[in-house]
């Protein structure tokens, strides 16, 4: 279970909603931002000029804010609204490869690990589709990504608090209203602006998701229209063109790179595969998936990590890459099996797998791409000319700096200039701002590798709702792991997110 939701369920996944801002009052240190987006079925009609103050406004509707919306739906009297710039919910559409599954069990849906009786659970989705018995006999603990995407869309189309086609342009603190002022543009067909609205909310929840990441040495060639280079996020949209190419290079050692390579390999002719897979890591390594290893994706570890000193957290994260950046052992096995099937008396398949390689540059050459490669152990440099490149180079947290610019003077930051985020998922603001800004999947530096993990979505949503209401509307377990992280007497002092202080509405 780990980041964000990348399409595996363990990496980046989220909505997108962002825009400009307007000034605000002073305080200590400065800050970041986002945007939002056609209207959900049955969306509550808030007319221009409606002066009510919402309890909660969510910016972005990806899996994490959708989880928050689903659990908020079960809190009596809570007035919440969630806005998303896109016209409908779609989760990593470019990587919904046939047969590709989540790397987290179906229980890591939007609500079940907090409220398994919720009408918004995956099992209820299956039941309402009259597929419960087929699902039972299928014995699938890990569902296909396409099924997860359809489930989330089913929830988003039925939740009255979700509106699509709304872009959030700016956020500032309205001292007179004691609420956040949120300026929004309603988008029509094709994303054209139709009208503007203004909302006020006591609290905000930012879930603007992640964006495809392209390493700096490849940004020029990736932006060159003459160069056949694309990010794996757009894989399915270009799959037929890739299958027609004589040679394709996949760059990146994670799950997405492995699945793209496997899909291309299965579809290309035996003996004329024309594939190269390059990875900077020393090997094509399996993701840590032992039962005790997975306890790094529990609330217990999240609380432990949050209590560590900042320099320790910064040292830990890069060292834990195999918890979320590796490849599932099953996918690695399928690649090996497919390669073995293609070995004939006439030779081996035309596939090159090379780890320990850094791609240090690239340029378009006569409709092809020339990559500059450096071997991290040999130190030598080489050139590779290929007909197409798929960059399976991951995702980065989407910046919300522009959106939140008016709140910059109120934001507290760490030594590296990153926003401080408390144990209850709130940006740390000075006392001038009475409302809370909750963040989802933008807190890996403070909460650890589990921040983008689908398995922690429901728990984190419950933490937010308990903090927002000042009471335990969703009881949370006191212990979630057999592992004891840290020495019992040495744990730094700090609030436990599962134990909110009554009346704490900050």
Angle between helices 457-469 and 63-72 (to 10 degrees): 50
Q: Can you give the residue range of the structural domain that contains 419?
A: 54-211+396-477
Per-residue pLDDT tens for 78-97?
Answer: 999 999 999 999 999 999 99
| CATH number of the domain encompassing residue 432 | 3.50.50.60
**Which of 216, 211, 8 lies closest to 97 in space, CA to CA?**
8
Residue 27 in any domain: the answer is no
Same-domain check for residues 176 and 196 = yes
Given this model, what pLDDT does residue 31 score? 31
Split into its structural domains, the chain has a count of 2
Break the chain down into helix, strand, coil percent, rounded to 5: 30, 20, 50
Asked which of 11-20, 218-227, 247-256, 457-466 is least confident by mean pLDDT, the reply is 11-20
In a domain, 424, yes or no: yes
Which residue, of 344, 359, 393, is where some domain finishes?
393
Residue 160 DSSP class = T
pLDDT at 50: 59
- 140 and 279 in a single domain? The answer is no
Domain match, 239 and 331 both: yes
In-domain check, residue 200? yes
438 found inside a domain = yes
The backbone region for 483, taken as left when phi is positive above 0, alpha when psi lies in -120 to 50, beta otherwise, is beta
* pLDDT at residue number 189: 87
Residue 7 lies in a domain: no
Is the model's pLDDT at 160 over the cut of 70?
A: yes
Query: Which of 346, 375, 393 corresponds to the end of one domain?
Result: 393
pLDDT of 321 higher than 90: no
The two three-digit tokens of residue 158, written as one number = 């039925």
- 20: Cβ–Cβ under 8 A, 6 or more apart, which residues? 169, 170, 402, 403, 405
Predicted TM-score (pTM) of the model is 0.87
DSSP helix/strand/coil, 264: helix
Contact 162/66 with Cβ under 8 angstroms? yes
The mean pLDDT of 445-466, rounded to a whole number, is 96
Pair (70, 218) in one structural domain: no
Q: Are residues 147 and 275 in the same domain?
A: no
With respect to residue 311, please indicate whether it lies within any of the assigned structural domains: no
| 224, 346: one domain | yes
Question: How distant is the alpha carbon of residue 338 from its chain centre?
Answer: 30
Count of beta carbons in the 10 Å neighbourhood of residue 268: 20
Question: Within this chain, do residues 266 and 202 fall inside the same structural domain, yes or no?
Answer: no
| Same-domain check for residues 251 and 118 | no
**H-state helical runs in 81-191:** 122-128, 132-138, 145-158
pLDDT value of position 46? 47
Residue 3 within a domain: no
58 DSSP β-pair partners: 82, 205
Q: What residues have CB less than 8 Å from 195, skipping those under 6 apart?
A: 48, 185, 186
| Confidence (pLDDT) at 164 | 97
pLDDT of amino acid 397: 87
Better pLDDT: 4 or 474: 474
Residues 150 and 226 in one domain: no
Residues 389 and 452 in one domain: no
What is the mean pLDDT of the segment spanning 474-496?
Answer: 81
Across 299-320, average pLDDT: 95
375-402 b/e (C-beta count within 10 Å ≥ 16 → b): eeeeeeeeebebbbbbbbbbbebbebeb
Q: Is residue 9 part of a domain?
A: no
Q: Please indicate, yes or no, whether residues 75 and 154 belong to a single structural domain of this protein.
A: yes
Torsions phi, psi of 457, nearest 5?
Answer: -60, -50
CA distances from 366 to 226, 369, 371, 385, 386 (A): 9, 8, 13, 10, 11
- 19 has pLDDT over 80: no
Stronger pLDDT, 27 or 147, i.e. the higher one: 147
Domain co-membership, 380 together with 406: no
């Amino acid at each position: 279970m780990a980041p964000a939701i990348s399409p595996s369920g363990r990496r980046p996944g989220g909505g997108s909603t962002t825009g400009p801002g307007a000034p605000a009052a002073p305080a200590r240190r400065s800050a970041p931002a986002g945007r939002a987006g056609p209207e959900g079925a049955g969306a509550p009609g808030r007319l221009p000029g409606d002066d009510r103050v919402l309890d909660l406004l969510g910016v972005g509707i990806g899996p994490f804010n959708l989880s928050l919306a689903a659990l908020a739906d079960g809190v009596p009297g809570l007035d919440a609204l969630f806005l998303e710039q896109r016209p409908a919910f779609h989760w990593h559409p470019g990587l919904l490869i046939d047969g590709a599954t989540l790397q987290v069990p179906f229980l890591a849906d939007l609500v079940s690990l907090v409220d398994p009786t919720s009408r918004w659970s995956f099992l209820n989705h299956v039941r309402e589709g009259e597929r419960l018995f087929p699902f039972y006999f299928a014995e699938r603990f890990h569902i296909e990504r396409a099924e997860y995407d359809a489930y989330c869309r089913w929830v988003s189309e039925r939740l009255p608090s979700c509106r699509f086609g709304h872009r959030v342009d700016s956020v500032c603190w309205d001292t007179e209203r004691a609420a956040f002022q949120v300026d929004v543009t309603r988008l029509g067909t094709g994303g054209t602006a139709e009208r503007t609205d203004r909302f006020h909310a006591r609290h905000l929840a930012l879930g603007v998701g992640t964006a495809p990441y392209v390493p700096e040495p490849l940004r020029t060639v990736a932006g060159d229209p003459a160069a056949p280079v694309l990010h794996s996020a757009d894989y399915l949209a270009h799959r037929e063109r890739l299958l027609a190419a004589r040679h394709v290079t996949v760059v990146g050692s994670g799950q997405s790179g492995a699945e793209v390579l496997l899909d291309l390999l299965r579809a290309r002719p035996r003996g004329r595969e024309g594939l190269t897979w390059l990875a900077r890591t020393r090997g094509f390594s399996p993701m840590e998936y032992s039962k005790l290893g997975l306890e790094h994706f529990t609330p217990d570890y999240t609380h432990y990590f949050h209590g560590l000193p900042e320099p320790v957290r910064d040292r830990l994260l890069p060292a834990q890459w195999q918890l979320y950046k590796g490849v599932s052992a099953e996918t690695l096995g399928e690649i090996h099996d497919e390669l073995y099937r293609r070995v004939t008396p006439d030779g081996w398949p035309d596939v090159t797998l090379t780890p320990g390689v850094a791609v240090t540059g690239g340029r378009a050459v006569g409709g092809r791409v020339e990559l500059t490669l450096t071997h991290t152990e040999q130190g030598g440099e080489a050139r590779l000319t290929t007909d197409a490149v798929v960059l399976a180079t991951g995702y980065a947290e989407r910046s919300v700096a522009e959106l939140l610019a008016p709140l910059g003077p109120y934001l507290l930051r760490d030594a590296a200039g990153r926003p401080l985020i408390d144990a209850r998922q709130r940006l740390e603001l000075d006392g001038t701002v009475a409302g809370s800004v909750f963040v989802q999947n933008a807190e890996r530096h403070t909460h650890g590798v589990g921040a983008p993990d689908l398995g922690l979505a429901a728990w984190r949503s419950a933490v937010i709702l308990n903090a927002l209401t000042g009471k335990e509307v969703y009881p949370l377990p006191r212990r979630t792991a057999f592992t004891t992280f840290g020495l019992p007497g040495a744990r730094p002092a700090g609030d436990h997110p599962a134990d909110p202080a009554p009346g704490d509405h900050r």
